[in-house]
Amino acid sequence: MISVSLKWIAEQVEGRLIGSDCTIDAVSTDTRADLTDALFIALKGKNFDAHDFVEQAIAKGAAAIICEKKVDSECRQIIVENSRHALGRLGAAIKAKVAPKTVAVTGSNGKTTVKEMLAAILSIRHPVLATQGNFNNDIGVPLTLLRLQEEHKYAVVELGANHPGEISYTTDLVKPDVAILNNVSAAHVEGFGSLHGVARAKTEIFRGVGGQGTAITPRDSEFYPCWQRACSDMQWKTFGLSDSADVYASDVTLNSEGHPSFTLHLGGETKQLELKLSGRHNVLNALSAAAAASELGISLNDIANGLQQVQPAQGRLTTIKVSDHLRIIDDTYNASVASTKAALDLLGSYQGYRIFVLGDMGELGADARAYHEDIGEHAIGSGIDNLYSLGVLSQSASEVFNGHGGKHFGSLQSLVESVLQRLTEQTGKQPVTVLVKGSRSAHMERVVAAIQQAVTVSDSVEDKHAC
């Protein structure tokens, strides 16, 4: 964080300073972090109260604390009515003081990928601050803003939400110059009541855009009329796969690894490029990032160069070559209906024997089973050979797929054994590709690790026999 005085911080968070002034250049909400000379903010939640750890923060070297009640200590204190809101106010104040050109990104799917694409494009010529990990909620967004330094010319901030009003709050902190609504699909439906509730909540991102700001949305969406109304009094650009969009792609193809090539059309210019990411859906993510970068005045050459530098993140359609006969597509970071269908489309593009391993997709509300049945139908249309499920809800997908090789498993071990059996049967015939997908709560990364370990052990034993 940039260096500011404790007195300035007290003014920004509307708090009462107790003790002398000092300079602060680090803020933390975690007593496990290095708190030497830092400002510690004691947050309160439904199941925790960091005020219980204030003495620990002071013992670890905190220079000052923000809290909701006076602590019996000589440590400098800023007393506020709500420490969570104080964190937000401070993040917003730091952002306003540094004043980088800022892009906010939300959507049901792909927002992290778009964020990484934009960061890669913008960092070609200037330092960029970008959201790390999943710091995209009402706590993570201000913590991201507090990482700003004077040299940051750009900031790319990811905004997530699981209930109405959350994006409105975080957008007001960020006050973006460009706001991207990447897409709307069945994700976190439980917290929004319906798919239309998701759309309404995501549209909150446009309320915090300044008069000179720009909204970016997909052109081909059932919610396009909704976005027309929401963006009627601001600059607005669209992206898509047809020339009805302001920024679009043509001539989309996938190579043998599933990496897309396409022609990017932007502002009357064109550029041919190939992504290192897998899946046709990443073309739309690239178009979204390109549209935003263009609004910041970035050249088409820099946009193309940045997009082509982006590498896949772990657990996000990461291709793992386990052996000469087996490829695993690890897409276990999270799952929604749209992202699962996109992953299935990628699996269907590979040659050879194809197995889909599905864990439960979470937070889909009352229609969760119907959404999982829809995935089973999509898997049939993708032409894959087996659908193996692990989890209560995912069983609905394998039941739909049953006549085509669907099967539900009650344990990780039995599922892995079945995959290995299929691999053995196909050895010498054709390669096997296994897609593993599920929400974070399903912990499907265990399946990836178990298959890798089993194949590695098996290959090691065969090598010893060969010797």
70-74 own/partner pairs: CB under 8 Å, 24+ apart = 70/18, 74/19
Instruction: List, for residues 73-87, the tens digit of each pLDDT value.
Output: 899 999 999 999 999
- Determine whether the annotation assigns residue 106 to a binding site: no
- Determine whether the annotation assigns residue 403 to a binding site: no
> Which tokens is 443 given?
């912990």
451 belongs to a structural domain: yes
First to last CA, the chain: 59
pLDDT of residue 464: 42
% the chain with pLDDT above 90: 82
Q: Verify that 162 and 270 share a domain, yes or no.
A: yes
| CATH code of residue 61 | 3.40.1390.10
Residue 459 pLDDT grade (very low, low, confident, very high; cuts 50, 70, 90): low
Residue at a domain's end among 288, 308, 328: 308
- Determine whether the annotation assigns residue 386 to a binding site: no
94 belongs to a structural domain: no
Instruction: List, for residues 228-272, the tens digit of each pLDDT value.
Output: 988 888 999 999 999 999 999 999 999 988 999 999 999 999 999
% the chain with pLDDT above 70: 96
pLDDT exceeds cutoff 60 at 318: yes
CB 105 within 8 A of CB 99: no
Q: Verify that 262 and 196 share a domain, yes or no.
A: yes
The predicted model gives 411-427 an average pLDDT of: 92
pLDDT of residue 128: 98
Q: How far apart are CA 61 and CA 67, in angstroms?
A: 16
Residue 186 pLDDT grade (very low, low, confident, very high; cuts 50, 70, 90): low
Question: Any residues with CB less than 8 A from the CB of 222 and at least 6 apart, and which?
Answer: none
pLDDT exceeds cutoff 50 at 276: yes
Q: Verify that 170 and 234 share a domain, yes or no.
A: yes
Question: Which residue range forms the structural domain that includes residue 29?
Answer: 4-81
pLDDT exceeds cutoff 60 at 458: no
pLDDT of residue 463: 46
Q: Verify that 295 and 339 share a domain, yes or no.
A: no
Q: Verify that 329 and 299 share a domain, yes or no.
A: no
Angle, helix 111-122 to helix 300-309, in steps of 10 degrees: 120
Angle, CA of 331, 334 and 335, to the nearest 5°: 90
330 three-state secondary structure = strand
Residue at a domain's end among 308, 333, 364: 308
Q: Verify that 304 and 334 share a domain, yes or no.
A: no
pLDDT of residue 191: 66
- Determine whether the annotation assigns residue 133 to a binding site: no
336 belongs to a structural domain: yes
Residue 187 pLDDT grade (very low, low, confident, very high; cuts 50, 70, 90): low
- Determine whether the annotation assigns residue 210 to a binding site: no
For the chain, give the mean pLDDT. 93
| CATH code of residue 170 | 3.40.1190.10
Residue 427 pLDDT grade (very low, low, confident, very high; cuts 50, 70, 90): confident
- Determine whether the annotation assigns residue 111 to a binding site: yes
pTM of the model: 0.89
pLDDT exceeds cutoff 90 at 434: yes
Residue at a domain's end among 285, 308, 331: 308
pLDDT of residue 60: 96
Q: Verify that 138 and 266 share a domain, yes or no.
A: yes
Q: Verify that 64 and 179 share a domain, yes or no.
A: no
| CATH code of residue 377 | 3.90.190.20
124 three-state secondary structure = coil
What's the number of domains the chain is made of? 3
pLDDT exceeds cutoff 70 at 188: no
91 belongs to a structural domain: no
The predicted model gives 214-234 an average pLDDT of: 92
Residue 448 pLDDT grade (very low, low, confident, very high; cuts 50, 70, 90): very high
Count of helix runs (H) and strand runs (E) in the chain? 16, 22
Q: Verify that 299 and 350 share a domain, yes or no.
A: no
Instruction: List, for residues 355-393, the tens digit of each pLDDT value.
Output: 999 999 998 988 999 999 999 999 999 999 999 999 999
Q: Give me the DSSP letters along 169-220.
A: HHHHHH--SEEEE----SSSHHHHSSHHHHHHHHGGGGGG--TT-EEEEESS
364 belongs to a structural domain: yes
Q: Verify that 201 and 296 share a domain, yes or no.
A: yes
pLDDT of residue 201: 86
- Determine whether the annotation assigns residue 424 to a binding site: no
